[in-house]
Structure formats: structure tokens, C-alpha cells
Amino acid sequence: MATPTRFGSEWPTRDASRQNHSKRKKCNPLSSDGPQPHFITAEFPRKVAIQKVSIHLSYQSDDSYTPSALAVRAGTSTGDLQDVRVFALDKPEGWITFDVSAETNEEGDGPAPVHAYMLRVIVVANHMSGKDTHIRGMRIYGPIEEYVSEEDPFPFITPAFKLYGTIR
């Protein structure tokens, strides 16, 4: 009962007690009930670079089911997950996109990606001390990498050329 993503990862929705597996509803694919903290775990078959996470929330529709505090952990397995980001939300609506890492990259112009086999988003608290959680969607993004070689006389850097930059 897991949903595969384009990265080949899976995230079953379950609560921390592991007794309540994937109570899916058609209108809300990521919902959980039971004791907190609720979490979503994304496992990848290989080590991947994770830059951003987007979560779709609706305070207007879900009220006390909407998360007010989230924590993001990353690592190689459930035994070695490390906190990489903790933040609060105030009545969120729509897609909320945030950088996974607070550390800057080597150039100092943006956040550095986190390299991990597993990413876990934990719902630390809900609005109005709600016990159940509704997350309407989640997306995980890697960094955008430009592959331009100095030896290449015709680099594919414009959008029109990038269409033909790889063989499908």
C-alpha cells in the first residue's frame, strides 16, 4: 500500500506505533490517525541528493488536521536518521516548498543538498492541538545540475537545445 514516485521511492502513511497502516481516503491520500508523531518516510534505492520538499496543506479545509510544526530527518536507514530541518507553519494553504538543508553550498549562493537513502517528514504538532493529520500531497526535488563541459564547442544551455540534449 505504498505509492511509487518518479524516483522509485515509496512512502507508506503510518503512525509511529506502526499499527495503523495506510488508511487511505480518495479525497486525502496522506492521512493518519492515532498517537503522534505522524510521519511520512521516503526510501530511495540509491543515495540521492535532496534539495527541496513541497507539501500540499489546506488549513481552510482541514482545520485542526493541518500540521503546525514539521521536522525533516535524513539518513541511510531508520536507525541513523538525523534532524536536518525543523520549522513552524501558520495556517498554510496550497503547496509549501522549503529547502531541506539550512547549510549553504560551496559557492555560498544557496542551500546545499542533503544526500540520503531515506527522508522522513515528521508532523510534530497540529493546529489547535489536533490529533489526526491530513497532508494532501508531497513532492521531493533534487538539485538542478548544469552539465556544461569546457571541451564542448556547442553546449546545450538554452531551453530549445536542452530538448535534444539527451537520448530517450
Q: Are 98 and 57 in contact (CB under 8 A)?
A: no
Q: Judge whether 117 lies within some domain.
A: yes
Examine the pLDDT at 22 and tell me if it is beyond 70. Answer: no
**Order of strands, edge to edge, in the sheet holding 52-58?**
93-99, 52-58, 137-141
Element (H, E) at 32: strand 30-32
Comparison of pLDDT for 55 and 111, the residue scoring more: 55
How far apart are the C-alpha atoms of 17 and 27, rounded to whole Å?
A: 24
Q: Is the pLDDT of residue 3 over 90?
A: no
Which structural domain range is residue 25 located in? 13-162
Q: In the chain, what percentage of residues exceed pLDDT 90?
A: 31
Total of domains in the chain: 1
Least confident span in 31-40, 43-52, 134-143: 31-40
Cα gap 132→125, rounded to integer Å = 10
CATH number of domain containing 26? 2.60.120.260
- pLDDT digits over 63-114, tens only? 888 899 999 999 999 899 999 999 899 989 999 999 988 777 777 777 888 9
